[in-house]
């Protein structure tokens, strides 16, 4: 069972998601972003960087996050993390279509590539990871793309090749939407993703 810490920069959405909801049971500690630089992270196996984390506080902690990963630990980034701090992510912005599901013959544009991956065989479905996208990553060779757009852009991927650790990067932002009390798919996503992060096969 992995010990999970969350970098917390003061958002009410993140407070609800990680501290006061049903999902708090999976989180071992919320670490205030202003204290992360001085925090000893040796006891933790996973560090979550929430979507819409305060960029100034994030910038102050980038080296700390990379150092954590390079000890063989897991970093999870909810997105989009479009600044140039993720390893070899090659972010591409795309306009968000919030209402694609109202279109005739609606198609989210998402495709499940990781059909045999533990996350999708035992914890969530593609539908649980489907609401909207803010862009895509184009990770380099060797990364494992689990969910992609129909033209191959990565929406959820695992990077074991660019550092000594494991990065689980996604442009999805379930913590923001669940914490804002809307987007039912995000609740289903977190109900599978966080138990997988705690106990599943990475």
Residue ranges for the chain with pLDDT beneath 50? none
- Residue-level pLDDT at 101: 66
∠ Cα 19 21 27 (to 5°): 45
Tokens for 28? 């071992």
Distance of CA 173 to the CA centre of its chain: 7
Q: Cα torsion at 192, 84, 2, 57 (round to 10°)?
A: -100
What does pTM read for this prediction?
0.96
Q: Is 105 exposed, middle or buried (0-12, 13-18, 19+ CB in 10 A)?
A: exposed
- Residue-level pLDDT at 192: 98
- Residue-level pLDDT at 172: 95
CATH no., domain 4-199: 3.40.50
Q: What is the pLDDT of residues 65-92, one digit of tens each?
A: 999 999 999 999 998 887 789 999 999 9
Annotate 54-108 with DSSP letters as a single string. Answer: -HHHHHHHHHHHHHHHTTT-EEEE-S---STTSTT---EE----TTGGGSTT---
Q: How many CA atoms, within 13 angstroms, populate the side-chain half-sphere of residue 30?
A: 17
- Residue-level pLDDT at 108: 87
Integer Cα distance of 108 and 163 in angstroms: 32
């Amino acid at each position: 069972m992995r010990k999970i810490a969350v970098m917390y920069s003061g958002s009410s959405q993140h407070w609800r998601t990680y501290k006061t909801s049903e999902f708090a049971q999976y989180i071992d500690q919320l670490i205030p972003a202003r204290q992360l630089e001085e925090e000893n992270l040796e006891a933790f196996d996973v560090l979550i960087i929430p979507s819409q984390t305060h960029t100034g506080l994030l910038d102050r902690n980038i080296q700390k996050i990379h150092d954590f990963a390079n000890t063989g630990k897991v970093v999870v980034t909810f997105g989009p993390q479009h600044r140039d701090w993720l390893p070899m992510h090659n972010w591409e912005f795309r306009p968000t279509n919030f209402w694609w599901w109202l279109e005739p013959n609606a198609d989210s544009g998402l495709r499940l590539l990781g059909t045999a991956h533990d996350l999708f065989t035992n914890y969530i479905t593609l539908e649980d990871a489907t609401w909207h996208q803010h862009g895509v990553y184009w990770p380099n060779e060797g990364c494992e793309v689990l969910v992609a757009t129909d033209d191959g852009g990565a929406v959820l991927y695992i990077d074991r090749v660019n550092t000594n650790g494991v990065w689980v990067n996604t442009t999805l932002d379930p913590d923001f939407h669940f914490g804002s009390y809307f987007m039912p798919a995000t609740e289903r996503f977190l109900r599978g993703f966080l138990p997988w992060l705690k106990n599943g096969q990475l």
